[in-house]
Amino acid sequence: MIPRLSYAESVKKALARSPICGLMGPRQSGKSTLAHEIAGPIGGHFFDLESPRDQVRLQNPELALGRLSGVVVLDEIQTRPDLFPVLRVLADRPDTPARFLILGSASPELVARSAESLAGRIEYVDLHGFDLTEIGPDPDDRLWLRGGFPRSYLAASDEASVAWREGFVRTFLERDLPQFGIRVGAAAMRRFWTMLAHVHGQLWNASELGRAMGLSDKTVRTYLDELSQTFMVRQLQPWFENIGKRQVKSPKIYLRDSGILHHLLGLETSAQLDSHPKVGSSWEGFALEQVLRQVRPKQAYFWATQGGAELDLLVFDQGRRTGYEFKYAEQPRLTRSMRAAMEDLRLDLLMVICPGTVRAQLAPGVEVMGIESFASGTLP
């Protein structure tokens, strides 16, 4: 198994600061494995809340959990929302002997309940699939093709990876969403999810998708929010600047895992991906996720004007404005749109991210960097 050292360190720091850490992420992203790696060597206590045996152990949860010390792991916490008030009581004990690591698959109900019951007592860490900082160089683009879910990436063949992703999609739609309290038919949600794959990297247009599905704008907006809250979709919000130009106000939509995107598009091999019309948009979304996971900004935006100028990603860090453009090209060029972004947004740095390990300067304040060099930490 590929070690996930940065996530482990983040969880350990969160547990040192707060009595409760919420490790959040989609199903099959490695939350349970990481929890065992953290708590196992120090004699942690584990409860799988989908296990009948552990459900019996927690029939009287305050008594069962209150006598434990060290790290207590509660997996699939969204199945037991009644535990949140108990955790609040246990976390407020003077010199509490336990730290609670709760694992959840991003249920909207989970977030709402924990925010209400555990405010001031919990710190969140979001866990995603593998990224380039963890696997290292990826010359065959396997991470891009298969996505970062561990079992998809580590599958023995592309065929096995495709089979795993189909099983994941079906289970997510037929079991996970109903468990989260989301009452949408599996067939309707799969159709909507597939439609999103075809507009990956584009502006959100509720009316267009609603007409295609015969649903209202409000309904398709609800579908989008549900996929976003379960880590399947990213809504990248627009940034507005007082520049006297008409600016885009709709979010851009990305499927967060490139492997799931390719599966919904019916792409099973690198050759199929390379010849597909969405190859550029797919790579843009993949590179976007890699940058966001390494930079970890508190807020991220894109920027675009009605006149055609745009910036794929804008982040703010310690008073600095950094822009990112993602180009699926070996030798990106300085464009008119890049110049407009530099001037209108007053960027301190514009980084053009492309495949490979290249490093060059296009213009003052404009750097070209291959995604693998960026992931290795070779930053300006």
Would the pLDDT of 84 be above 80?
A: yes
For residue 118, name the pLDDT band (cuts at 50, 70, 90): confident
pLDDT at 109 over 80: no
pLDDT of residue 113: 66
∠ CA 268-274-279, nearest 5°, is: 95
C-alpha angle 233-234-239 in degrees, rounded to nearest 5: 155
Given a contact cutoff of 8 angstroms between Cβ atoms, the answer to whether 260 and 167 are in contact is no
Which DSSP string do the residues of 37-91 spell out, in sequence order? HHHGGGT-EEEETT-HHHHHHTSSHHHHHHT--EEEEEESGGG-TTHHHHHHHHH
Select from 147, 134, 132 the least CA-distant residue to 5.
Answer: 134
All CATH 3.40.50.300 domain ranges of the chain, comma separated, are 5-126
Every domain of the chain with CATH number 1.10.10.10 lies at 132-375
The two structure tokens encoding residue 240 = 């507005």
pLDDT of residue 71: 96
Residue 112, pLDDT > 80, answer: no
CATH code at 5-126: 3.40.50.300
Are 259 and 152 in contact by the 8 Å Cβ rule? The answer is: yes
- The tens digit of pLDDT for each residue in 267-321 reads 999 999 999 999 999 999 999 999 999 999 988 999 999 888 999 999 998 889 9
How many CB atoms sit inside 10 A of residue 245's CB?
12
Per DSSP (E only), the strands in the chain are 20-24, 45-48, 70-75, 98-104, 122-126, 202-203, 233-238, 252-255, 300-304, 310-317, 320-326, 349-354, 359-363, 366-370
pLDDT band at 145 (very low <50, low <70, confident <90, very high): very high
Single-letter amino acid, residue 259: G
Q: Please, are residues 362 and 334 in contact by the beta-carbon 8 Å criterion? A: yes
Q: What angle do CA 23, 25, 26 make, to 5 degrees?
A: 145
Element (H, E) at 143: helix 142-146
Please name the helix (run of DSSP H) or strand (run of DSSP E) that holds residue 228, with its range, or none.
helix 217-229
Q: What is the pLDDT of residue 179?
A: 78
More confident residue, 146 or 2: 146
Coil/strand/helix, residue 325: strand
The pTM (predicted TM-score) of the whole model is: 0.93
The gap from C-alpha 5 to its chain's centroid, in whole angstroms, comes to 18
Mean pLDDT lowest among 31-35, 158-162, 246-250, 340-344: 246-250
**Cα–Cα distance between 25 and 259 in angstroms, integer?**
16
Whole-number average pLDDT of the chain: 92
Q: Which CATH class is domain 132-375?
A: mainly alpha
